[in-house]
Structure formats: structure tokens, C-alpha cells
Structure 1
Amino acid sequence: MNERPRGIESVLVVGTGLIGTSVALALREHGVTVKLTDQSPGAVRVACELGAGDEWEPGGDRVDLAVIAVPPQFVADWLLDLQKTEAARFYTDVASVKALPIEQARRLGCDLSAYVAGHPLAGRERSGPGAARADVFLGRPWAYCPGRETSPRAVAAVLSLIELCGGNAVKVDPVAHDEAVALISHAPHVAASAVAARLVGASDTALGLAGPGVRDVTRVAGGDPDLWTVILSGNARPVAEVLEAVATDLAAAAAALRAVSVDDDGAIARVTELLRRGNAGRSRIPGKHGGPARAYAVVQVLVGDRPGELARLFQVAQDAGVNIEDVRLEHAPGLPLGAAELSVQPESAEVLAEALRSHGWHVP
């Protein structure tokens, strides 16, 4: 059992969905006593069966920290109810919108000295307690937004929570947080859904030709629509502003391409300019170690669709002393094989390729 930071012995998790149950599982790995509650008895039961904790009985012993893992519109109501019964010494939440619950909590008269708004920027396309994992927060940013009323002890408790879960604490203003997640998360989800929606009426020919490009662009569109409706409603204005800017770029690109289709060759320059801005924007996304993203070399290798193939592949890399920075798999439709794209440091690419070939792997 791992040693835990001092100050958190017991935690109440309100909401046993993906994030709430993942928080509980991470805490249990450090020996923290975790109590669970949810409006769905079935969700609590599943979380308990997964080892995330025990069902909470209102009126029991006060816990050190309550983690409110419900949609942003309901955080303040839960905070008020919990504080009325003195369920915890301190309180936080994990909703993806911050300004709304803070303002609602202030209007309701909640004790803001004991509350620190929070948001771990982690998750999966799947939802519910069955998709929860204790490691989902490892290395991920975890925003926390203390106000002018917040006590230092409340902040310390939340920082201990973030450390226990393996997140990287990032102090941020609530409004700045909401504008940021609109740009990096909420608006991209809507944009991906808009692209994916075009596939509803796609022909079998088009779907049969689908490759990694369309899968990458539409991956997040697999999220729960009801959950995302609640999230977007709580951050409506910042998301709308980002989408309007994206729509302006798309409309300009569409107009330019229509001009190209009627022999206005010069119009394509406007599309090229958008593509270059896209390159520049993507290059600003931090790499896995923070700071500017590194440029990796990609070694492609054909992999059979059989148990143990990836393990053998990684063993060759280990024996060759090559660290695999990232891996991507693309299956060949209708064939029992696929291609693995291994991202490595440029100076290691040829070393890995030769090691793989010497062990019988097909490296194009």
C-alpha cells in the first residue's frame, strides 16, 4: 500500500460515474476510507463491487473531504445539502465548468471558505462506473480554483486529493478555466460531432474507405450525448464564441473551394493559409513531458492479430534499448493483421527498424 499525504483519512464521493468512481479507486489504492453515494443505487452497487468504497449512510461520521462528482448545474445544491449536515470538513467538485457552480454556491449562501472548485482534465469516451480506472488521472492536469474566501486548510486538502490521484495541480481563475476548456475540449467535441454526423447518411462505399483520419477526428464524438448536453449548457457562451470562430474559418474555406471548382485557382491560397495556421496551432500543444511537442520518427511494422504480438514487439524494442514514445494501431479490414506505428526519438528509428527486421518482423 502506498504512503499517502497527511490530512486525508476519509473521503465521501458524491456521484459514482466514470470520474467519481475513478477518484474513489485511486484513493482506495492509498488506503483512504471512501464512502459512496449516487442517485442511482445501481451505480453505487457497481462502484462498491469494483472496490471503490462502501455505500454512504447520511448522518454517519464526518469525513475529511467530500468530492462532488455531478454535472455542473447540480454542484451547488449538493454542496449546500452536505454543508447543512456537516458531512465533511472540506469540499471540492470535479465538474468541467467552474464559474457556474461557484456563482450558484455563492447565491445559495454556501460556506465558500471550505470549498475549492476543481476539475481533473481526464476521462474516457465511455461513461459509468464500469469504465472507471484508478490510473485515469496520472500525469493529467487537475485545475483548482480557490476563491478569496477559501481557507488554506481547504486548499491543502484538495492538493492532497490531487496528489493521491496522481494529477498535476494547476491553480487557475474560474472564468479563465471555462474559456480554456471551451477552446481545448468543449468546442472540439461539438466540432467532432458535426463531422461524425455527416457519416449518418454516408454510403457503404464511403464507410468502407474510412481510415485513421476520420477515426481520429471523430473519436471524441463517441461520448454520452446527454452528459455533454449538460456540460455544454453550463459553459454555453465561451463554447459558442469558439464555434463561431471555427464556423467563420470553415465558411471561408468552403467559399474558396467553390471558387476553385469554377477555375479560380488563386482562391486555394486561402485554404492553404488555414491549413498552415492549423499546423502552427497543433505544434503549440505541449508534448508528453510538457513544453513544446517533440518531433518523433515513426517506424511502421506489420503486426498479426494474435494474442501476445504487441508484447513481443515491445520486448524487441526493450532489448534494443529503444523507448517507444507513442504507439498507434490501424487494423486492416478483413485481414488478420494490422500496422503498428511506433513513435521514437529520430536517432533511434533505424536501430529499432533493424532490430525488428532481425527478429522476423516486416518493416516497410
Structure 2
Amino acid sequence: MNPSHLTGPVLVIGTGLLGASIGLGLRARGIDVVLSDTSPSAQAVAVDIGAGRGLVHSEALEPELIVVAAPPDVTADVVAAALAEYPGAVVVDIASVKAGILARLRRLPGVSAAELSRYVGTHPMAGSERSGPVAARAELFSSTPWVLCPSEESSAAAIKVAHSLAIDLGSVVFRFTPDDHDEAVALVSHLPQIMASLVASRLQDSPAHALSLAGNGLRDVTRIAASNPAMWVQILGANAAKLVEIMRGVRADVNRLISTLEAPTAPGAHLDLARLISEGNAGQTRIPGKHGGPAQAYAWLTILVEDKPGQIARLLTEIGDIGINVEDLRLDHSAGREVGMVELSVVPNKRVALVQELTDRGWKVIL
């Protein structure tokens, strides 16, 4: 077991997906984790899965760190209560918005600058469409960004403890101001959620025969539309000011597209459509690629596999034997046939060799 930066105990307030996952991750490092939740059943499930032990209010607990994993609309109040109840502890929250929480903390009576010196706002950029402690995983934060958003009042010691939490859970640490954080997540997290939900909402009354043609494109775009509505109502409301500016830009682009499609044969219409797609190409290439480096253009190919146990494992084993690294992989199924379609990408100069090797070994490759 690797030595931990934290010594504990760590009190986690809120045992949903993120809170329980933090507990599991810290317990895996041998740290004493104490769990507290307003829902006794959620807390009991988190205890049962090994995320920590339940808080006993008669216990004279002196936590090194308190992690507030509460909904955004109550986070500031929970943080304030934790600062007051445990004067020796550093308190962090993991809510997905930061500026509003800090502003409310500063307005709350009884929250002094001295107490705020022990508080650091943070945001682990990890999650799942599933919610609750039953979906928790100790590895949820591994290699994912964890943003520290210290305030002017945050002490160096408190920032160090917050940094240690992220490192102990395997995250990659970033440091933003609260305002810069909220602006960034509005673009890279909240906007994709809205767009996925808007696209998926068009499917509600669609005929079944149309949806039978759906492939990975639709699934990729709408995957996060399965997220928890109650959670997102709070997130979007808390970051509305940052998000609305981005949405105005999206509205302008949609209006422009509608105008072009209303007269698709008009002079300049084809050029405008091409520019729209090219602008998307340019934006997509700016998304960091493998290991956080610059995005690369990989070569894709599709291999048909029988829809039975062990076929995908056999395919990947043979590709490994060939000595070519798979950069990315997606799985789809052929409509009406018991055949799976494995889409994978490799560096471009390996594509021809891989196609030939797989074909020679009896695999059906679609170019």
C-alpha cells in the first residue's frame, strides 16, 4: 500500500456517488473514514460497501479533513456548520459550482475570515450517469482532473490538505479561481449536458422504426442525457449566469443554420453549411487527446465479431499479438443480426498492416 499524504480521520458529509467513492478510495489507502448523511439508508449502504464507518455523534471526533459532498443549494450551509463544529479541521466541498458557494459563505453570519482560512472549494471532474452509493467506485477519480479553487482567505495549510486529498485519490490537480472554474465548466460540462438532453428529448415521441436505425452517433451524443434531473436543476441554476452567455452563442448558430436550411439551394448555402461543419472540426481538435496531449487524428476501422462470449477478448488479444496499440475503441451491434461491430482506432501508419493481419486471421474487416 502506498503511503498517504493524509493521516485522517476524514469525515465525509454526503454519501452519494462522489462522497461514497471518496470514502472507498481513502479506505483503500488505510485512512479512517467517517460517514454522515441526512439519509440513514444512503449512509447505511455506503457503510455496507466499505466506504467508511458511520458517524457516532457521541464520539469526540477530531477530523483532519471534512469533505462536504452535499447538493449545491445547501453546500454553503453545510460547510459553515462543519467549520463551526470542528475548529481544527480543514473543510473542502466538491460541488460543481464554486463562486456562488463562496459568496454565500462570506455573507453567512458567524463565518469569519479566520474560519474561511480553513475552507477550500474543490471540484473533482468525475462522475457517472448512475447515482447513489451503489454506483460508487474507489477508482472513480483516478487520472481525472480535480480543480482546487481557493479563496483569498484560504491558508496555505488548508490548500495543501485539499491538494493531498486529490493526489491520494489519483487525480490530476488543477488550480482555478472560482469565477474561472464556473466559466470553464459551463463550457465543457454544463453545455454538453444541455445539448445531450435537448437532442434526446426529440426522441420521446419518435416512431420505433426510426429509432431502430440508431447507431453509435446517437448513443454518443445522448449518453449523458440519462443523468439525474434533480442534480442538474441545481447545477444549472447555480451557474446560470455563466451558461446563458454560451447558450446565446449556440442560439445564434442554430438560427444561422435554420436560415440556411430554409433555403438550401440559395447562393452561399452550401458554403455556409461547410463552414459550420468546419467550425465544429476546428473546435473538436482543440479537445486534449490521449494522456492530455494534443489531439491526434487516428485511423478507424470496424471489425465484425460474433455476438457470443469471448469474441472481443480474442480480437484484442490477437491485435496485441500483432503488436499494434489500440488508441480508442467503441462497440455497436448490427440491427437485426447477432453480430457485434468493434470500431477501433490506431495510428494511421499501422492501419493497412492491421487490416491485412486481421483479414489473414479470418476476421471480417469493414473499411
Give me the TM-score of the superposition, normalised by structure 1: 0.95
Q: Which range moved further: 114-123 or 311-320?
A: 311-320
- How many percent identity over aligned positions? 44
2: CA distance between counterparts of 1:231 and 1:296? 35
Distance 1:31 1:351, change over 3 A: farther
1: CA distance between counterparts of 2:141 and 2:263? 47
Asked if the contact 1:73–1:100 (Cα under 8 Å) also holds between the matched residues in 2, the reply is no
Superposed displacement of residue 46, structure 1? 1.3
2: CA distance between counterparts of 1:268 and 1:159? 51
Asked if the contact 1:8–1:65 (Cα under 8 Å) also holds between the matched residues in 2, the reply is no
Tell me what 1:301 maps to.
303
1: CA distance between counterparts of 2:283 and 2:187? 12
Tell me what 1:23 maps to.
22
Distance 1:159 1:202, change over 3 A: same
**2:287 is equivalent to residue 285 of structure 1:** yes
How far does the alpha carbon of each residue in 1:194-237 deviate from its partner, in whole angstroms, 9 at most, with x for none? 11111112122221222222211111111011110011111011
Tell me what 1:53 maps to.
52
Asked if the contact 1:82–1:88 (Cα under 8 Å) also holds between the matched residues in 2, the reply is no
**2:138 is equivalent to residue 134 of structure 1:** yes
**2:208 is equivalent to residue 204 of structure 1:** yes
Tell me what 1:177 maps to.
181
1: CA distance between counterparts of 2:57 and 2:346? 52
Superposed displacement of residue 332, structure 1? 1.5
Asked if the contact 1:322–1:352 (Cα under 8 Å) also holds between the matched residues in 2, the reply is yes
1: CA distance between counterparts of 2:301 and 2:88? 52
2: CA distance between counterparts of 1:304 and 1:142? 40
Tell me what 2:91 maps to.
91
**2:355 is equivalent to residue 357 of structure 1:** no
1: CA distance between counterparts of 2:57 and 2:274? 60
**2:106 is equivalent to residue 106 of structure 1:** yes
Give 5+ residue unaligned stretches, structure 1.
Answer: none
**Which residue, 260, 273, 278 being the options, matches 1:271?**
273
Give 5+ residue unaligned stretches, structure 2.
Answer: none
Tell me what 2:74 maps to.
74
**2:254 is equivalent to residue 250 of structure 1:** yes
Count of matched residue positions in the alignment of Structure 1 and Structure 2? 361
Superposed displacement of residue 333, structure 1? 2.6
2: CA distance between counterparts of 1:88 and 1:355? 63
1: CA distance between counterparts of 2:57 and 2:131? 26
2: CA distance between counterparts of 1:180 and 1:173? 10
**Which residue, 156, 166, 171 being the options, matches 1:167?**
171
Asked if the contact 1:14–1:38 (Cα under 8 Å) also holds between the matched residues in 2, the reply is yes
Q: Which amino acid aligns with 1:355?
A: E
Q: Which amino acid aligns with 1:249?
A: D
2: CA distance between counterparts of 1:93 and 1:309? 44
Give me the TM-score of the superposition, normalised by structure 2: 0.94
Asked if the contact 1:316–1:355 (Cα under 8 Å) also holds between the matched residues in 2, the reply is no
1: CA distance between counterparts of 2:333 and 2:133? 29
Asked if the contact 1:2–1:30 (Cα under 8 Å) also holds between the matched residues in 2, the reply is yes
Q: Which amino acid aligns with 2:3?
A: E
Asked if the contact 2:11–2:65 (Cα under 8 Å) also holds between the matched residues in 1, the reply is yes
Q: Which amino acid aligns with 1:67?
A: V
Tell me what 1:326 maps to.
328
Tell me what 1:64 maps to.
64
SS at match of 1:219: helix
Superposed displacement of residue 165, structure 1? 0.8
Asked if the contact 1:121–1:141 (Cα under 8 Å) also holds between the matched residues in 2, the reply is yes
Superposed displacement of residue 363, structure 1? 1.6
Asked if the contact 2:16–2:132 (Cα under 8 Å) also holds between the matched residues in 1, the reply is yes
Q: Which amino acid aligns with 2:292?
A: G
2: CA distance between counterparts of 1:208 and 1:257? 26
Q: Which amino acid aligns with 1:126?
A: R
2: CA distance between counterparts of 1:49 and 1:288? 36
